[in-house]
C-alpha cells in the first residue's frame, strides 16, 4: 500500500470500495511496527483504534460518516483521551489514565477520525529537540542521527514516516512549527484562542495552543475548521465565527507579504536555509504577489521575554504535581515536606526542573517587577508591532528556524541551544 498524502485521496478510495477503514488502520499498525526504532509513539491504541475503525466503516457503508472518516491521526502525549494514558512524556505521569477527553479529541471523534496512539514529546512540552522525553529521543526519519525537533517531535515524525495521516501537537513557542520544519511536513499553529485548550496538560497557559501536523494544506485547513470554535469548558477560546477554511485555499488574488529583514540578514541563519527562503520569495514575486522587506527591531527580545513568561507560568502550572493528588509519589518519604521534595525531584526531568526554578525566581519578591512585569511589557510591544505590520500586509514571512535539524546529543549540554523552539514566522492573527 502506498503512502497517502491527503484525506481527500483516502476518502475517494473508500468511496470506490477499494479500501476499508479497518484495512487502513492495519496498514498504519504495520508501519508503526516497522519503524519502532524512530521512537515516535509512546503508546499505540491497538484496541480502541480497531473498534473505532470498524464503527467508522459502518458509517461509510451507510452514508452517515463524518468529515474526517478515513483520517488516522495521532495525538501528542499531553492531550487527554478518556480511559487512555497521558503522560506528557514524564516519569511524573507515567501511569496516569485520563478520566476525560480533551475538547479537540471529542471533536475529532465526532467527525469519525480514528485516533491511533499517543506521540512522544519533550517532557511537559519543554524542549526543542525531543531529547528531554522520559521515553528517550525521537529520531528523524530522514537521518536517524538527527533530532526530530520539539517539543512535538513524535507528531512530526509520525507524519513524516507515514505512521499516520495527521497528528496533533501543541505549540508554546514554536513546538509545532519547528519540528515540522525539521521533518519536512506542514505544521500549523493557529492564533491563541482559536482552538480550545481544555484537556491539554498545561505548560504556559497564555502561550499553549493546539496545532496540526499534516502532509497536505487541505488537511490542515479541514482540521482547523473542525477543531476551532467556542468551548464552554475554556473561557479563553475566541467567540469569533469559524470560517470554512477549506473554501479559501484556491481563492487566489494578489497578497502583500512582508519579509522580516533581520531574520534573513542574520549571520546565524544557515546559508542553505537563506537560499531556500530567497528562492521562495522570488517565486512569490513571480506569481504576482507584492513582497517587501520590513524591519522588526524587537526580534532580539522575543526569546528572553518568552523564557521569563513561560517559565513563570510553568512554575505555577506544575505545582499541582506534588506527590499527593496524582502522579508520581515517593513512597519512602517520612514527612509531608519530604514527600513534596522527593516526589518532584524524582518525577521531573532536568529541563523541567530548570524551568520551574527559573520561573519561581522571576516571580519571587524583589524580582517580579524587574523580570516578569518587564517581560509582559515587552510582550505587549511585540504584539503592537505585529498588529501594525498587518495593517499594511497580509502575511509576514521569515525562516522557521535558523538551522537544519542538528544531531542527537550535539546540543544536549547547552540548554539554550537545544530547548529554544521560538518560531519567528508570523501569519495573520
Q: Which residues form the catalytic set? A: 76, 151, 175
Residue owning grid cell 526554578: 357
Distance CA 381, CA 399 (A): 22
Distance CA 349, CA 352 (A): 6
Distance CA 46, CA 210 (A): 24
Handedness of CA 142, 147, 152, 155 (dihedral sign): positive
Partners of residue 168 on adjacent β-strands:
75, 212
Distance CA 409, CA 137 (A): 9
Query: How many CA atoms lie less than 13 Å away from 412 in the CB half-sphere?
Result: 14
Q: Is 200 helix (H, G, I), strand (E, B) or coil?
A: strand
CB 403 within 8 A of CB 343: no
Radius of gyration over alpha carbons of the chain, in Å? 21
Distance CA 45, CA 164 (A): 12
**Rounded to 5 degrees, what angle do the CA atoms 141, 143, 144 make?**
70
Amino acid at each position: 500500500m502506498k503512502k497517502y498524502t491527503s484525506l481527500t485521496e483516502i476518502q475517494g478510495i473508500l468511496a470506490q470500495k477499494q479500501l476499508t477503514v479497518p484495512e487502513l488502520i492495519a496498514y498504519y499498525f504495520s508501519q508503526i511496527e516497522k519503524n519502532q526504532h524512530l521512537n515516535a509513539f509512546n503508546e499505540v491504541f491497538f484496541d480502541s483504534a480497531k473498534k473505532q475503525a470498524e464503527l467508522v466503516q459502518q458509517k461509510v457503508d451507510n452514508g452517515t460518516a463524518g468529515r474526517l472518516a478515513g483520517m488516522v491521526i495521532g495525538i501528542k502525549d499531553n492531550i487527554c483521551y478518556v480511559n487512555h494514558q497521558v503522560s506528557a512524556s514524564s516519569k511524573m505521569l507515567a501511569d496516569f489514565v485520563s478520566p476525560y477527553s480533551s475538547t479537540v479529541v471529542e471533536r475529532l471523534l465526532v467527525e469519525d477520525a480514528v485516533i491511533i496512539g499517543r506521540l512522544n514529546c519533550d517532557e511537559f512540552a519543554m524542549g526543542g529537540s525531543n531529547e528531554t522525553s522520559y521515553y528517550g529521543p525521537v529520531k528523524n526519519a530522514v537521518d536517524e542521527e538527527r533530532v526530530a525537533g520539539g517539543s512535538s517531535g513524535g507528531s512530526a515524525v509520525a507524519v513524516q514516516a507515514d505512521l499516520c495521516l495527521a497528528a496533533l501537537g501543541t505549540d508554546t513557542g514554536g513546538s509545532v512549527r519547528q519540528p515540522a520544519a525539521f521533518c519536512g511536513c506542514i505544521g500549523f499553529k493557529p492564533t491563541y484562542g482559536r482552538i480550545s485548550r481544555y484537556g491539554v496538560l498545561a505548560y504556559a497557559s497564555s502561550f499553549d495552543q493546539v496545532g496540526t501536523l499534516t502532509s497536505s494544506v487541505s488537511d490542515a485547513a479541514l482540521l482547523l475548521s473542525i477543531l476551532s470554535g467556542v468551548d464552554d469548558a475554556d473561557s479563553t477560546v475566541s467567540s469569533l465565527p469559524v470560517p470554512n477554511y477549506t473554501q479559501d485555499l484556491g481563492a487566489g488574488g494578489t497578497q502583500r507579504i512582508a519579509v522580516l529583514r533581520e531574520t534573513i540578514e542574520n549571520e546565524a541563519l544557515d546559508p542553505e536555509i537563506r537560499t531556500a527562503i530567497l528562492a521562495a520569495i522570488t517565486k512569490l514575486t513571480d506569481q504576482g504577489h507584492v513582497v517587501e522587506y520590513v524591519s522588526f527591531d524587537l526580534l532580539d527580545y522575543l526569546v528572553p521575554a518568552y523564557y521569563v513568561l513561560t517559565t513563570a507560568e510553568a512554575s505555577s502550572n506544575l505545582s499541582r504535581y506534588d506527590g499527593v493528588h496524582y502522579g508520581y509519589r515517593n513512597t519512602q518519604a517520612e514527612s509531608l515536606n519530604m514527600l513534596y521534595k522527593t516526589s518532584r525531584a524524582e518525577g521531573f526531568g532536568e529541563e523541567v526542573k530548570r524551568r520551574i526554578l527559573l520561573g519561581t525566581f522571576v516571580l519571587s519578591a524583589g524580582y517580579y517587577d524587574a523580570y516578569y512585569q518587564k517581560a509582559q511589557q515587552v510582550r505587549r510591544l511585540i504584539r503592537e508591532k505585529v498588529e501594525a505590520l498587518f495593517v499594511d500586509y497580509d502575511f509576514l514571512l521569515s525562516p522557521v528556524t535558523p538551522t537544519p535539524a542538528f544531531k542527537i546529543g550535539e546540543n544536549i549540554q547547552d540548554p539554550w541551544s537545544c530547548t529554544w523552539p521560538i518560531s519567528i514566522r508570523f501569519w495573520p492573527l
